Amino acid sequence: MPSISARIPDDEEESLAEVADLLGEDKSATIRKALSEGLHDLRVRVAVERYQSGDVSVNEAARIADVSLGEWLEIAREHNLTTQLSPDDLESDADAALDV
């Protein structure tokens, strides 16, 4: 596993220590968990933004979010997303979904 170092403000270090205590973990494990969850949230946010703007298809949004098509459809429903795609794009997505 690679090692990365980062500087964080004092108040965030205090918060990190508090959360690590709450989880019963050391700070390194808490950082790894926070990074993993944060990266997932960022991927979903970018996928939502790009899908809503019509820049990407359903399949592309699921790939960006790193989730299955079914999971993406649930995310889209939770965010009340509407498609900006053409009927041809939707048909292509439907065909791709059948291949999965």
Residue 1 in this model has a pLDDT that exceeds 90: no
**Apex CA 87: angle with CA 86 and CA 93, to 5°?**
95
Where does the chain show beta strands of DSSP type E?
none
Residue with tokens 């403000």: 9
- pLDDT score at 28: 93
User: How does the average pLDDT of the chain come out, rounded?
Assistant: 89
Residue 63 in this model has a pLDDT that exceeds 80: yes
User: How confident is the model over 9-41, as pLDDT tens digits?
Assistant: 999 999 999 999 999 999 999 999 999 999 999
Residue 76 in this model has a pLDDT that exceeds 80: yes
pTM of this structure: 0.73
> CA-to-CA distance for 10 and 14, rounded, in angstroms?
6
